[in-house]
Amino acid sequence: MQKYKELENKVVLVTGGTQGIGEAMADAFAAEGCRLAINGRVLNDKVEKVAARTNALPVMGSLAEPGVGERIVQETCEKYGRLDVLVCNGAGIDMKPFLEQPEENWWHQVKINLSGHIEAMRAALPGMAARKSGTIIIISSFLGTLGWNNASGYGASKSGLLTVGQYLAREYRQHGVNVCIIVPGVIRTAQLQVDADDLGVSYDEVCEMYAQSIPMHRIGTPAEIAGMAVFMATAAGGRGLSGRHIQVSGGDYRTTPYYV
């Protein structure tokens, strides 16, 4: 159901838009009447179903590969004539203690989560600045704001994303571009299986375990993150939240933000 008429026909690219939080973003923006592009690593049945359901253009490739970040923005612009909203959501995680993790595996997460998105942002910003309009929405993580056992590479990439969001917001405010950051709490996605495996428990057990320590006593849903992203894409939401981060976490991870 459309909530924000102003978003109708806006062009939105969602990285990692083929599952989990990204898939929910694709559905949410499609419901607003947006024109969509979704990025994932491999074009398969699942991706095609999401694309068909949301009428999205699949722009495929691994953000870890140089050139992909730029290409997916270009393909989106070629199809739709412009890009209004870039959602930097795609992520990879490989949990291991820093001192035990092979260097290549550690850096692979940084390549996908941080460097790949930096490339996409660089490709998107000139067009947005020229039109004096645009929004970049970054999905960071409390693993980046707080740090987490066995997640130093993921944490590094997500704190880098928080920083680039803050400083790009400062630089591009004068060009009418908003850059907003979401720090999700624990969200019910397939990625929790990585946590479950790391802890040696089942998926349902890890969900229940996390829920107990969250004030709201439940973990979040991908749609709840998508709802925040849609709000950030609006004029008022983007203007108010540009350069800021919001923790969508059911009351968990309460930090006091200090901003540039």
* C-alpha span between 1 and 10 (Å, rounded): 16
Question: What minimum distance in Å lies between the beta carbon of 166 and other proteins?
Answer: 8
Rg of the chain over CA atoms, in angstroms? 17
Site for other proteins in 114-143 (CB under 8 A): 114-115, 118-119, 122, 125-126, 143
Question: What minimum distance in Å lies between the beta carbon of 168 and other proteins?
Answer: 6
Question: What minimum distance in Å lies between the beta carbon of 224 and other proteins?
Answer: 23
Number of Cα atoms under 13 Å in the Cβ half of residue 230 = 28
Question: What minimum distance in Å lies between the beta carbon of 44 and other proteins?
Answer: 27
Per-residue contact flags (x/-) with other proteins for residues 48 to 77, judged by CB under 8 A: ------------------xx----------
What is the sign, positive or negative, of the torsion defined by CA atoms of 19, 22, 26, 31? positive
Burial tier of 221 (Cβ tally within 10 Å: 0-12, 13-18, 19+):
middle
First vs last Cα of the chain: how many Å apart? Answer: 36
Question: What minimum distance in Å lies between the beta carbon of 26 and other proteins?
Answer: 27
Which of 33, 81, 147, 251 is close enough to bind other proteins by CB under 8 A? 147
249 binds other proteins (CB under 8 A): no
Token pair 């947005």 in the structure block, residue: 128
- The identity of residue 246, as a single letter, is I
Is residue 178 within 8 A of residue 165, CB to CB? The reply is no
Minimum CB distance to other proteins smaller for 33 or for 126: 126
Per-residue contact flags (x/-) with other proteins for residues 179 to 218, judged by CB under 8 A: ----------------------------------------
* C-alpha span between 198 and 204 (Å, rounded): 14
Binding site for other proteins (CB under 8 A): 66-67, 97-99, 103, 106-107, 110, 114-115, 118-119, 122, 125-126, 143-160, 162-164, 166-168, 171, 258, 260
